Structure formats: structure tokens, C-alpha cells
Amino acid sequence: MSQPENGLVDQQYRPLDLYIMIPCMMEKSRSLWHMASTPSGVSRVFLDTITEISNYEMDDGLTSQLIRKLLGQVTIIGLTDHVKDKAELGRETVHVYLTMHKETSLACVTLAFPNLALPVTQLLDQMSRNEILMDDQGEKKFLLDWLDVNYGLKRMGMCRSFTNLTSVIGVEERMYLLANEASGSQVMKHRLIGTCFKEAAEKNVAQYDMSEVYVQEGSIVQIYKERKDGYEDRIADHVLTLFIMELILMQVVAIARVSHRVSKELHEKSDISLKFIEELNLDFSKTMFLWNLNHFKYSATQELVNSFIKGFKIREQLDIYTSNKSYLEGLINVHTARSTDRKNWILNIGIVFLTVSQVLPIYYDISQKVYEGSVTGFDLWFGGSATLIIALLLYIVRRASKRKVL
């Protein structure tokens, strides 16, 4: 790939607006009310517009459950993609927004970069490495650490990007935006040629003719035919995609949360209880509102959502969770079978003990008759029958003790 003109990385993409979105889980002990900032100006317009479009596109039952807040402004530091001694490319102050579902604490954090001045693919490369750096009152910190410490927001799942531009760019340029990799990289000297990225960069999933829309697992790229001068005017074109991405990233968190619990349970405990499965199912059932596309009022929007879900590979993640849960249920079945076998074995031993205790007096009586010379054929037959019963019981217990649960 040719180097950008004037030595500026990513110059071919300008002008553009960028959003970086982080799927998160909020600690239930935290409260947003004293943390959030009061929106004004462009942040007020952003929150009002995305709330308005969500109410317009979906039924009130879901949108009324979502909380939207401005967490504040942060200064993001752009870096080169060198493995060591990364050089600073510039700084940009951006708004940080939070959308959270009240009952489940599923959340999505959004960083808005209007008229991005930093090199876009270098910044996306930082995002891919979970190394977005910020300046917090003169101290450099990773953004994810700042969100965790200050707001109790823990990343759960892959961060995604949403790039909006009007530049006429080729398939290869779109591939770098979709791959969230640095173009003109100092580390990777080879060109990106992956088939999946090329196919995604050639497949326009837009439902309306105002733009082209391309989607890959980690990103969405929207290319408009016309660019509105003011960012506040452009927000209205962005928020539908942002709203859909918020819901999908909450799906990511829902899957990641239960998958994490399953992995932790398998790692820490040898015996998995049925109660844990019940709690797991109840926990996941609270997120079912996310999976019902009928919440969207328009078929075109539903088609767009389907395209994003497919591109983000959400179904594959759900299949992995389902597979893990089935494995967990299988372990419970094995544990239950083994427990049943142990109980049956103990019960059989008890039966043998009780039977022998009942038969011993018979043996004693027969032995006395033998000693006295008064034993009859019936006595011998009765004693033999008792011996046969004991032998049969011992055989059953022996077979039960050797049985293996696979």
C-alpha cells in the first residue's frame, strides 16, 4: 500500500467522525448519579438525538429501561504502532458517553471523535490492542483502567469502531478500517489481503441510498454521499447505527458474563450443582429483551440489525456459550449418576447386611440339628436357598461397584 501523501498517516480518509465503543459490565455497588457530568452543547445534542431516534425506532418498553449519561471529557493520546518506544502522534479531547440497562447493568461506553485529527487507523490499532492511552490530569493512563477504577466499568468483549466519512476510498483502504489495523504500519510491512476483510469491504449492507455501509467483526464503516458541515447536524445520521451497536454490544456483554461464570465454575469446582445452572439460566433470561428484533418497528432497520449481528459474529459467540453450558449440564448429569451409584451401592450393602442378619439364625439352627443328628432334607434345602440368595446379592453388589460412569 502506498504511503499517504505529505507524510501524514491516513490522510486519504479525511475528513471523518469516529466512534469507539466498549462493551462493559458495571459493578452493582456503583452509582452513576454522582459520577456523571451535566451535558451541554454538543453532548446535550448527542444524548437527546440518540434518545429520540431510539424511541422512534423501537417500542418504549425497551428504550425506557436504558440510562444514558455523559461521563465527561478525556484527552486521548495517539501513538504509533511500534512494539517499543511508541512515539506520540497527537492528542484529542473527546466526550465519553455511557448507555446502561437498569436491571442487568449491561453497558456500552462510547467515545466520540468528531472531525478526528489523529491518524484513524493508528488509533484503531491502539483500540485493537486495548491500549487506548489518555492524559488524566498530567498522568498517562490506559482508558480501560480509568473506566474500571473511576466508574466500576469492566470491559467484557471486543471493542468496536464506527467510522463515518465521505472520502472516496478503495476496497483496500476500507479493509484497514474494517480490520482496525494501522495502514502504513512500521511493524507490519506487508499489505492486508485477507479474504474475509476483502469480502466485507465489497459488501454494502446499507438499507438507504444516502450512504454505503460495510461491516466486519470489529467495525462498521459508513461512507456518505454528502457531508454536512456541522457535527451537530451529522449526529442525526450517526445515531441509528450507534443505537443498534449499543444493543449488540450489550448482547456481547450478556454472553461474555455467563461464559465467564461457566469458565470460573469449571475451573474452581469439581462438582457443579443444578442450582448453578438454574441461576445461570435465570441470569441470561433477563437479557432476552436484547435478542427480540420485533422491538424494532421497521423491517429495514431489522435487516440492518441482522447484517450487523452477522458481521459481528454474535451468533457464533452465542453458540460457544450454548456449547459450554451443554458441557456443564453433561458434567452435572455425570455427577448425578455417580452420586446415584454410590447411594445404590450403599443401599445394596445394607440389603446384604440385613439379609445375612436374618439368615444367620437359620444357619445356627441347621448346624445345631446337624450336631444333634436331627437335620432333615427340608432343612438342607432351606439352608441352600438362603446361601444362594446371599451369593446372588453379593454378585449384584460386586457388579454395581465395578460399573463406570463415562
In this structure, the chain runs to a length of 406
pLDDT digit string, tens, across residues 5-32: 334 467 889 899 999 999 999 887 666 6
**How confident is the model over 182-187, as a mean pLDDT?**
74
What integer pLDDT is reported at residue 298 of this predicted model?
Answer: 87
In this structure, of 212-216, 250-254, 263-267, 305-309, the range with the lowest mean pLDDT score is 263-267
- Confidence at residue 295, expressed as pLDDT on a 0 to 100 scale: 80
The pLDDT value recorded for residue 5 is 38
Which of 66-80, 170-184, 259-273 shows the lowest per-residue confidence on average (mean pLDDT)?
259-273
Query: Which tens digits make up the pLDDT trace of 225-240?
Result: 999 999 999 999 999 9
Measured in whole angstroms, how far is the alpha carbon of residue 179 from the centre of its chain? 20
Q: DSSP H helical segments within 161-313, as ranges?
A: 171-179, 195-202, 231-268, 274-285, 299-312
| Closest to 91 measured CA to CA, from 132, 54, 127 | 132
- Averaged pLDDT, 281-305: 81
What mean pLDDT do residues 257-286 have? 72
Q: Spell out the domain ranges in the chain.
A: 5-250, 335-402
Residues 338-375: pLDDT tens digits? 555 555 555 555 555 555 555 556 555 666 666 666 66
Distance CA 264, CA 61 (A): 34
- pTM metric for this prediction: 0.78
How far, in Å, CA of 275 to CA of 378, rounded? 57
CA 306 from chain centre, in angstroms, equals 18
Phi, psi of 223 (to 5 degrees): -115, 115
Q: What is the mean pLDDT of residues 140-165?
A: 95
**Nearest residue to 243 (alpha-carbon basis) of 65, 103, 39, 49:** 49
Higher pLDDT pick, 20 / 394: 20
Higher local confidence (pLDDT), 265 or 41: 41
Q: Which helix H or strand E contains 191, and what residues bound it?
A: none
